[in-house]
Chain A
Amino acid sequence: MENRPVTTESPFVKGLLITSAVVILTLFLLMPLFAVFAEAFRRGWEVFIASLNEEAALSAIKLTLLAAAVSVPLNTLFGLSAAWLVTKFRFKGRAFLLSMIDLPFAVSPVIAGLVWVLMFGAQGWFGPWLAERDIEIIFALPGIILATVFVTFPFVARELIPLMEAQGSDQEEAAVTLGAGGWSIFWRVTLPNIKWGLLYGVLLCNARAMGEFGAVSVVSGHIRGKTNTLPLHVEVLYNEYQFSAAFACATLLAFLALVTLGLKSLLEQVTGQKAGGH
């Protein structure tokens, strides 16, 4: 019998749809990714290595790692406490708090940088006060960290809140009736339940922290070898028409993205479900 289930399309339509989707995804996703590496190696291995093994590049890598090393733990801590707060307690202003957590997603990275300039820049609220004391925030490391913290703020909390919401408080309540204290409940009951979600949130937070461009660009001042993070270094090189060097540095960031995606897929397999987007 040539019968086809009613919920399927004819092989022709199916083939056509698959082909167009694959073409779109290839042109749109795979080709750019491939292009990064192709451009980076266009002038050979030596140029590639040399571009990375250069003082400005190394200092940019160092700065990027440093900014992520500060902002990721901070936002992880915040994500945990915020998720704990909004899922285990009901209080006035909870809905407001939830929408505040989401807010940075709706703010342009450029604005995320601008707010710090308006606070701590030379013309800002605290500008003169800081200048008197010779404290540099804008066009220096603290500004870069603040901007990074702002844009990566929601990631951990956003992953954890739906997860903890779905799990409810039954297990914690059971632990309380068994005589466990606050910290021991957290370490032995809550954390094991959310560890994969937490890991995923941290992963996303880190990817964004290392890759952030707009916000950091506004506060950094682009001082080569000093306040350039890796994405900013890529920009500088590109604008100086040092394409191979720019793409060599970009491969590090693209690699980071691939690792993030790979770990995400792995986590989905471990937990057997789809992790959230954004």
Chain B
Amino acid sequence: MGFTVLYLSLIIIIPLAALFIKAAGLGPAEWWEILTSRRVLAAAKLTFGASAAAATVSMIFGLLVTWVLVRYEFPGRRILDAMVDLPFALPTAVAGITLTQMYAPNGWIGQHLEKVGVQAAYNPIGVFIALTFIGFPFVVRTLQPVMEDLGKEIEEAAATLGAGRWTVFRRVLLPMFVPALVTGFALAFARAIGEYGSVIFISGNLPFKTEILPLLIVAQLEQFKYEAAAVIAAGMLIVSFLMLLIINLLQRRLDWQHR
């Protein structure tokens, strides 16, 4: 007991408290000034916007991929299933440089996108791609157990009542997936907000344009603006904690649906 609490305090609680105390050293007016500065607002807009877009696409990809992995037997299924965790396991810096290399104007995918007039890397689109890469395993891994535990009876019941396959999916299955999908979305979103390594290479890091919040914190640190860094970090943490709270509530909802 003693060890657990002591360790937890030393590693997590005290350092985080230090951050908030540092941030609290500034008054509300200074907080406001930092958080509403043009550069912070631009970074926040990019971070939250790209995170939301990435989590949304993750949700759609995740639904499709999970359905296929759970429902169908095909060669290579087991390997693909195992590979879904790659973004969890691959160090973010590796993901970052690799995605950049692929989506850069002369990269494997980038050169084709270039032809249709899309510049992916060094652009908000690049940020979105990196965050989708990071986020979509969360959706798959949240949805997968729900889909696996479903059983055939529910669908058979709907079918004997005259519902066609698409109707069964839309009116019976999809609503049952929604809590898991939303939880997956929230997890992917929460991760995306704080993501650093996989984004900074592909984003190009132009202030006001392709700079994300975590990078802005680093930039403040490099200029020895510790208070500003702490304030931005505190703001991000508050959003993250709210996300965590929402995730917990969603999880509880999932639990009662499974009773």
Indicate whether A and B interact.
yes
Give A contacts to B, CB under 8 Å.
Answer: 6-7, 9-10, 13-14, 17-18, 20-22, 24-25, 27-33, 35-36, 39, 74, 77-78, 81-82, 85, 97, 99-111, 114-119, 121, 123-125, 146, 149-150, 153, 204, 207, 210-214, 217-218, 231-232, 234-235, 238, 243, 246-247, 250, 253-254, 256-258, 260-262, 264-265, 274, 276-278
Inter-chain contact B152/A207, CB cutoff 8 Å: no
Knowing A82-B4, A125-B18, A231-B93, the reply to whether A114 touches B221 (Cβ < 8 A) is yes
A68: min CB distance to chain B, Å: 12
B32 at the A/B interface (Cβ < 8 Å)? no
Inter-chain contact A114/B86, CB cutoff 8 Å: no
- Total B residues in contact with A, Cβ cutoff 8 Å: 89
Inter-chain contact A25/B218, CB cutoff 8 Å: no
Inter-chain contact B237/A111, CB cutoff 8 Å: yes
| Beyond A108-B240, A109-B196, A265-B78, 11 additional pairs, beta carbon < 8 A | A6-B159, A17-B72, A81-B3, A105-B191, A114-B230, A116-B15, A150-B15, A204-B89, A214-B92, A250-B94, A277-B138
Closest residue of chain A to B86 (Cβ to Cβ) is A29
The main secondary structure of chain A at its interface with chain B is helix
4 residue pairs, one from A and one from B, having the closest CB atoms: A108-B194, A211-B91, A277-B141, A214-B196
A195: min CB distance to chain B, Å: 21
Inter-chain contact A29/B194, CB cutoff 8 Å: no
Q: Which residues of B contact A231 (CB under 8 A)?
A: 91-94, 197
A-B contact count (CB 8 A): 260
Closest residue of chain A to B138 (Cβ to Cβ) is A277
A277 to B146 alpha-carbon distance, docked (Å):
14
A207: min CB distance to chain B, Å: 5
Q: Which residues of A contact B237 (CB under 8 A)?
A: 106-107, 111
B153: min CB distance to chain A, Å: 9
B180 at the A/B interface (Cβ < 8 Å)? no
Q: Which residues of A contact B218 (CB under 8 A)?
A: 110, 217-218
Among B5, B97, B108, the residue within 8 A (CB) of A250 is B97
Knowing A7-B152, A35-B98, A100-B8, the reply to whether A110 touches B217 (Cβ < 8 A) is yes
A14 to B68 alpha-carbon distance, docked (Å):
8
B185 at the A/B interface (Cβ < 8 Å)? no
B224 at the A/B interface (Cβ < 8 Å)? yes
The main secondary structure of chain B at its interface with chain A is helix
Closest residue of chain A to B7 (Cβ to Cβ) is A78
Closest residue of chain B to A238 (Cβ to Cβ) is B97
Q: Which residues of B contact A260 (CB under 8 A)?
A: 89
Q: Which residues of A contact B240 (CB under 8 A)?
A: 106-108
Inter-chain contact A254/B233, CB cutoff 8 Å: no
A119 to B163 alpha-carbon distance, docked (Å):
62
Inter-chain contact B12/A100, CB cutoff 8 Å: yes
Among A35, A149, A250, A261, the residue within 8 A (CB) of B89 is A261
Among B76, B89, B101, B137, the residue within 8 A (CB) of A243 is B101
B206 at the A/B interface (Cβ < 8 Å)? no
14 contacts across the A-B interface (CB closer than 8 A): A7-B159, A18-B74, A22-B68, A22-B80, A28-B132, A29-B83, A78-B4, A102-B244, A104-B12, A105-B191, A110-B215, A119-B18, A257-B91, A258-B89
